[in-house]
Structures are given as structure tokens and as C-alpha cells.
């Protein structure tokens, strides 16, 4: 069974526990700037929205990588960056339409969510369950795909 992160922005309080847990798990420090998940603060609306890699089926980051440093983990479904292979060219950061791949100045490599090997720390740390790790079918992925296909077909018809 494929699993994925489900984010319910209505439950997010902006506590940043997800960012802290992620940075500690992946970088060994409590530093939100080094987190692979970000909480956007929409001041005008008084809302917080956690955001991270959606592990796209057609991963543009993976297709764009000139050295094949990004591969899919068949067990978790996560697109993972191999530090040993990554040359830090940042092409994947440009290819990602969602901006969820970042360059790590310290390592000279790119970083992105890898679902913590199938046990995401951000979900475990979230006190309000704004971030949960669920069966991928429960995330509305099919609805998103149907909407994307409909939008794509409308765009093709317009041309």
C-alpha cells in the first residue's frame, strides 16, 4: 500500500514543530531553515499552511537531473536524492514547479522530503494532526489527477 503525507491546513497552528522535527532528523540541528517541510504564514488571512514535496508521479525533478541522482524508493514512493551522486547543479530546483527542492549551502547538494524512509518525523511531531501519514488513496490523489487531466484537456482544446 502506497502512503503519503496528508496536510490539513485548517488544523495548522504555525507551531513549526514539523520543521524542527524534520531539520533534526535530517541535519541533526533544530533549525527550520534546514527543514524539508515549510510552514507558510499568510498574515492577511491569519492562516498557516505546511508544504513539502508531493512525491509527484511524473517527477520533473527526477527527469531533469542530468546525473540521475534522484530515484524513486519503490517501498515508500518517495523521490530520493543520492548525496553520493548529486553534483549540486540545482537543475532539479528549477524543474520542480512547486519549489520544494532546496539547495543546501553546507553540503553543496540539494535536499527534499524523502518521507523519512516511510516514517515521517513531521507527521509524528505535529500536535494537531495537521500533518498525517495516510494511505495515498485517502489524500484525494485521484480527485487531483482528475482535475489536472480536465485542466490539461481544456488547455489543449484552447490551442
Q: Concatenate the DSSP letters of all residues of the chain into one string.
A: --EEEEE-GGG-----HHHHHHHHHHHSS--GGG-SSEEEEETTTTEEEEE-----TT-HHHHH-TT--EEE-TTT--EEE-TTT-----HHHHH-TT---EEETTTTEEE---GGGGS-HHHHH-TT-SEEEEEGGGGTHHHHHHHHHHHHHHHHHH-
Q: Are residues 82 and 120 in the same domain?
A: no
Q: Are residues 28 and 105 in the same domain?
A: no
CA 88 to chain centre: 19
| Residue 148: CATH number of its domain | 3.30.70
Q: Are residues 62 and 25 in the same domain?
A: no
Quick check: 113 pLDDT over 80? yes
Q: Are residues 60 and 41 in the same domain?
A: no
What is the reported pLDDT for 100?
A: 94
Q: Are residues 63 and 47 in the same domain?
A: no
| Residue 98: CATH number of its domain | 3.30.70.20
What is the reported pLDDT for 138?
A: 59
Rounded to two decimals, what is the model's pTM? 0.81
Percent of all residues in the chain with a pLDDT value above 70, rounded to a whole number:
87
Q: Are residues 5 and 32 in the same domain?
A: yes
Query: Which of 83-87, 88-92, 136-140 shows the lowest per-residue confidence on average (mean pLDDT)?
Result: 136-140
What is the reported pLDDT for 135?
A: 83
Give the domain range for residue 91. 55-112
Q: Are residues 3 and 44 in the same domain?
A: yes
- Average pLDDT in the chain: 90
Last residue of a domain, one of 112, 134, 151: 112
Q: Are residues 75 and 106 in the same domain?
A: yes
Q: Are residues 99 and 145 in the same domain?
A: no
As for how many domains the chain has, the answer is 2
Q: Are residues 41 and 67 in the same domain?
A: no
Closest CA to 58 of 50, 76, 70, 75: 70
Give the integer Cα–Cα distance in Å for 159 and 155.
7
Amino acid at each position: 500500500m502506497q502512503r503519503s503525507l496528508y496536510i490539513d491546513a485548517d488544523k495548522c497552528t504555525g507551531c513549526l514543530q514539523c520543521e524542527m522535527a524534520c531539520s533534526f532528523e535530517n541535519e541533526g540541528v533544530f533549525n527550520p531553515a534546514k527543514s524539508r517541510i515549510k510552514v507558510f504564514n499568510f498574515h492577511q488571512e491569519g492562516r498557516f499552511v505546511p508544504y513539502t514535496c508531493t512525491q509527484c508521479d511524473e517527477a520533473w525533478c527526477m527527469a531533469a537531473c542530468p546525473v540521475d541522482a534522484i530515484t524513486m524508493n519503490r517501498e515508500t514512493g518517495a523521490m530520493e536524492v543520492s548525496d553520493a551522486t548529486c553534483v549540486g547543479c540545482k537543475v532539479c530546483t528549477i524543474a520542480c514547479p512547486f519549489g520544494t527542492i532546496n539547495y543546501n549551502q553546507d553540503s553543496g547538494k540539494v535536499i527534499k522530503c524523502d518521507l523519512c524512509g516511510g516514517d515521517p518525523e513531521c507527521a509524528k511531531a505535529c500536535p494537531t494532526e495537521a500533518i498525517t501519514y495516510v494511505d495515498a488513496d485517502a489524500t484525494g490523489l485521484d480527485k487531483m489527477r482528475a482535475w489536472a487531466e480536465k485542466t490539461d484537456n481544456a488547455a489543449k482544446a484552447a490551442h
